[in-house]
Amino acid sequence: MLKKKLIICVFFGFVTYLIFMLFLEPVTKSWKDVNQIDNLHLQYRNLNFSKDSGDVLSFVHIQKTGGTTMEKHLIFNIKDSNCVCESTKKPSCMCYRKEKNEIWLICRYIQPKWPCGLHPDLATMKKCAPNFMNSVYGSRPRRFLYATLLRDPIHRFISEFRHIQRGASWDSAASLCQGKNLASQVTSCFKGSLWLNLTIEKFLSCSQNLGFNRQTWMLSNISEVSCNPAEILYNENLNNKLLSIAKENLVSMAYFGILEYPTESQFVFEKTFHVEFKEPFWNWNTSYAMEYLKYFNISLKIQEKINFVNNLDIKLYNFAKQILFQRYSYFVAKYGMPAYKNSFVNESFQFNLVKILKMKKNLPKSKSKEEQLRIKKARAELGIIS
C-alpha cells in the first residue's frame, strides 16, 4: 500500500512539474530574449544627455501612436527647453541650445516641417538626421540619440484604418528601402488619391498594406529583410529577422515610451535625460479605437485576421513593456516613486449618442477638413486625379 501511494505521489509530482514548466518556459524564453541584448539597453542609465553641448534628440513618429501629442510635450512641456515658436495655427518651433544658434531637437514641428520627410522610419532618420544638421549648422562632432512612442498594436491598426477611411494617405511617407521610397516599390492598395468606400475587410485584404506590423518594420531596417511586405508577412524566417532587428534597435534607442503607460513613460524620460516636464502626461483616451470593434460587431474571423497581420507588432509591444518597466523600476529604486499622478483627458468620457454618431460618420476633426474631404471624394468619384 505504501509503495502504491509513493508511486501515485511521484506521478502527480511529475505532472505538476510538467504543467509548471509549460507555463514557465514562454516567460523564461521571453526574459532570456531581453537579457541577450541587455548590455545595449543599459546605456540609458548613464546617458549624460546635454542639449547645450553636442547632443541631438530625433523623434521617430510612427503613425497613430500618439506621436503628435508626444512631440508637443517635447516642445511645450519641458522646463528650460529653450524652444522658440512662431504664432501659427500649427506649431512651428525651433529648440535651441543655450548660447548657440543650433537646435537640439529634430521633430515634425521644426523648420522645415518634417525635415527628414513625412513619417520617416528609424533607419531613414538615422541617415537623415546627421546630414540635416551638417547641412544647416555645419559639420562638427555631435551625438545623435533617438526616441519614439509605441501603442497597443490592435488599437493603432484600427486607428490607422479609420484615418485612411477619412481620406488620409501616407503614400508620400519618407521611409526608404534599399535607397528608394518604400511606398513606390509596393503595389498601391487603391487607385487615385483616395480609398473610396473603404471597409475593414478591404483594408485587411491588401497584402501590400504598409499598416501591417507598422511599428515593427519602422523600428527595424526593412532594407536588410525585404522591400515586399507580403513576402515578409507569410515567411517565418523573414518575420523572425525583422522582429529581431526591431527589438535590438528598440533597446538601443535612448528612449521609448508606451501610449498606454503615461506615468511610466514620463518618469523614464525625465530621469533618462535629466529634464523635468511642467505638467504630467495625460492618460490618452483611446476609446474610439477600442469601441469600434464592439459597436460595428466585427466578426471573430476579422478580429483574428487583424491579430495575424499585426502579430509581429504584438510581440514587439509585449517585449517593449518588459523593457519599459525594467527602466522604470531602475529609476524608482534610484529616485523613488514619481510625485505626480496622471489624469485622464476626460474622466467622464462616455459613449453617448453624439459620440456614437461621430464614430459612425468618422468625419475629420474640423469643419474645414470635413469640407476638403467632401471635395476630395467628389473629385475621386468623377475620376479626377488630385
Q: Which residue has the cell 547641412?
A: 135
pLDDT tens digits, 301-328: 999 999 999 999 999 999 999 999 999 9
Point out the least confidently predicted range of 130-139, 190-199, 344-353: 344-353
**313 within 8 A of 153, measured Cβ to Cβ:** yes
Alpha-carbon torsion 72, 74, 78, 84, what sign?
negative
High-pLDDT (> 70) share of the chain, %: 76
pLDDT at 27: 37
pLDDT reading at 371 higher than 80: no
pLDDT tens digits, 247-264: 999 999 999 999 999 999
Q: Is 229 inside a domain boundary? A: yes
pLDDT tens digits, 142-181: 999 999 999 999 999 999 999 898 887 777 788 889 988 8
Point out the least confidently predicted range of 19-33, 232-246, 265-279: 19-33
pLDDT at 334: 96
Q: Is 289 inside a domain boundary? A: yes
Q: Which residues are marked as active site?
A: 119
**93 within 8 A of 110, measured Cβ to Cβ:** yes
Q: Is 24 inside a domain boundary? A: no
Q: Is 59 inside a domain boundary? A: yes
Q: Cis link prior to 364 (omega < 30° from 0)?
A: no
Determine the Cα–Cα distance for residues 286 and 15; give it in Å rounded to an integer.
43
Q: Is 256 inside a domain boundary? A: yes
Point out the least confidently predicted range of 17-31, 67-81, 106-120, 233-247: 17-31
pLDDT at 285: 61
Domain of residue 337: give its range: 55-348
Q: Is 157 inside a domain boundary? A: yes
pLDDT reading at 1 higher than 80: no
Helical H runs in the chain? 2-36, 38-41, 67-72, 122-137, 153-165, 182-185, 200-205, 214-219, 229-233, 236-252, 262-273, 287-295, 300-309, 311-335, 353-361, 367-381
**110 within 8 A of 165, measured Cβ to Cβ:** no
Q: Is 214 inside a domain boundary? A: yes
Strands 255-258 and 143-150, sheet pairing:
parallel
pLDDT at 59: 98
pLDDT tens digits, 113-145: 899 999 999 999 999 999 999 999 999 999 999
Q: Is 321 inside a domain boundary? A: yes
Domain count for the chain: 1
